[in-house]
Amino acid sequence: MNRVYIKTYGCQMNERDSEAVASQLAARGYRIVRREEEADIVLLNTCSVRDQAEQKAIGKMGYLAKRKRRDPDFIIGFMGCMAQNRGAGLLDRLPDVDLIVGTQRFHHVPDYLDRFREARETGVPVPASIIDLDEETGSQNTIREHLPDRRKVSAFVSIMQGCNMACTFCIVPKTRGSERGRPIDDIVREVEELAARGTREVTLLGQIVTSYGRGEIPPIGGKSPFVQLLERINAIDGIERIRFTSPHPRGFNRDLAEAYRRLPKLCEYVHLPLQSGSDRMLRRMNRPYSRKKYMEIVNELRRNVPDMYFSTDIIVGFPGETEVDFRQTCEVFEEVGYDMAYIFKYSKRSGTPAAEMGDQVPADVKEARNRELLGILEKRSNRRNQELVGTTQEILVEGPARKGPYFTGRTRGNRVAFFEGSERLVGELVTVNVDRATVSSLYGSLALAGVDA
Ligand code: SAH
Ligand code: F3S
């Protein structure tokens, strides 16, 4: 009765948090299973960024609650952002939920599950629902465990929690709390351990990584704490590639742009959230930069690395967004030529300032704007991939592809590639001749030189 299934909604930080919980549970003797039907305990790690993500998790829990009514020993719980955001209110609709654990208390999940288990084994009635949404000093330092039995060629590393900005649309400062960074040495040690176990690529995670260590770690020679951290990781043997998400344009200074040229392991792919190309919208969003400033960062990066790949986050249909505002977003979108973009239709989050603003944009307008940007993205992304046909690309081999005889990996620019390989190449950097491409993927064959396939 100790088999746990964890389902994760939302962003990479959530995936990372789920993995840390899984590894803490495994250390406590729980078994992590890959299928919900095999589990005695199901935990949903939730997202609150948009209403749709919350509704999905609530729907799923409704389904799980039905099973619990047939099988009272079955344990179900919410963790993460929606747990933090809605707390005990979740029990109004879902009274059968056993566990509601917020974003600073993930590491207490094993204790809580032990309590249910003990109660069952001793015949004592199980406790009523456990709700824990407390703040905890130092909780950012608890997200460091990785599953020991699984080699991860590419691993996420959480470097900080929370966000001190107040974008008017965003619920994250409420669900994740204020900024707390982990000490550089702890992060470096974690990455060294990962490297020793075969990790070749790390993605550093935080809501606003450009603020990492600010106010705690002094700048050295004009280099921010975040750039200092990148330098330390660049020096770790075995790590071949470094990525991070997400920076904020406000903290994207010259030292970081130059790091791309100086640090060979830092991949030429940057996720730089724009949100809107209209200065008027940016002001209403409380995003403290202008379109001009954003383009300066893009151009500075291109000066340092001409071959830079760009990705972004956009919100369409923010309250008050007119056709003129939206055209400005399209212009920036074309001008930067994003290789990847996450385009969101604005979703009202109660408790945020934007939810109270007038001029909410009708759903069909949001939908049309969303489609238009997706169209631009598809064209551009396809063009970029077609340009890669006939070139050779360095691929970090991640493993067998889901379908066919192929193996899969990514270029430094984060393009997915498929090729015929072998298990021995997993975790290796190989050179692939790109033979053809679709919008989303490259297809090729291993180049012979330098590869012992
Ligand atoms: N700085 C964080 C942002 C987290 S939210 C990070 O990049 O990790 C991720 C993205 O979701 C935001 O950049 C924004 O584009 C989008 N988003 C946030 N709140 C939203 C809302 N209320 N409606 C629609 N999209 C939203
Ligand atoms: Fe959200 Fe803005 Fe922070 S998008 S996570 S409040 S930078």
The predicted model gives 410-430 an average pLDDT of 95
**Structural domains of the chain sorted by starting position, each given as residue range(s) with its CATH number in brackets:** 3-132 (3.40.50.12160), 139-310+346-356 (3.80.30.20), 392-446 (2.40.50.140)
Does the CB atom of residue 172 touch ligand 1 within 6 A? yes
Does the CB atom of residue 173 touch ligand 2 within 6 A? yes
Which pLDDT belongs to residue 448? 72
Nearest to 190 by CA among 319, 23, 419: 23
The predicted model gives 299-328 an average pLDDT of 97
Which pLDDT belongs to residue 1? 79
Q: Which ligand is nearest to the CA of 205?
A: 1
The predicted model gives 315-325 an average pLDDT of 98
Q: Say which residue the tokens 């055209």 belong to.
A: 327
Percent of the chain with pLDDT over 90: 93
- The residue whose C-alpha atom lies closest to atom 15 belonging to ligand 1 is 313
- The length of the chain is 453
Q: ∠ at Cα 386 (377, 11), nearest 5°?
A: 40
Instruction: Give the tokens for residue 87.
Output: 């707390």
Pocket test for ligand 1, best of 281, 312, 315, 347 (most atoms within 8 A of CB): 315
Does the CB atom of residue 170 touch ligand 1 within 6 A? yes
Does the CB atom of residue 408 touch ligand 1 within 6 A? no
Instruction: Give the tokens for residue 130.
Output: 């456990």
Strand order in the sheet with 201-205: 154-158, 201-205, 241-245
Instruction: Give the tokens for residue 338.
Output: 């994003």
Contact 61, 67 (CB under 8 A): no
At 142-195, the pLDDT tens digits run 999 998 777 899 999 999 999 999 999 999 999 999 999 999 999 999 999 999
The 10 Å Cβ neighbour count of residue 145 is 17
Quote the CA–CA distance of 93 and 110 in Å, as a whole number. 25
Which ligand 1 atom is at minimum distance from the Cα of 246?
7
Q: Which ligand is nearest to the CA of 251?
A: 2
Phi-psi region of 123 (alpha: psi -120 to 50; beta: other; left: phi over 0): left
> What pTM was estimated for this model as a whole?
0.95
At 425-450, the pLDDT tens digits run 999 999 999 999 999 999 999 997 55
74-109 residues labelled b (16+ CB within 10 A) or e (exposed) = bbbbbbbbbbbbbeeebbeebebbbbbbbbbbbbbb
3-state DSSP assignment of residue 43: strand
At 335-371, the pLDDT tens digits run 999 999 999 999 999 999 999 999 999 999 999 999 9
396-434 residues labelled b (16+ CB within 10 A) or e (exposed) = bbbbebeeeeebbbbbbbbbbbbbebeeebbbbbbebeb
Distance 331 CA to ligand 2 centre (A): 23
Q: Which ligand is nearest to the CA of 48?
A: 1
Nearest to 18 by CA among 58, 62, 77: 77
At 116-147, the pLDDT tens digits run 988 888 887 767 899 999 999 999 999 999 98
Contact 186, 144 (CB under 8 A): yes
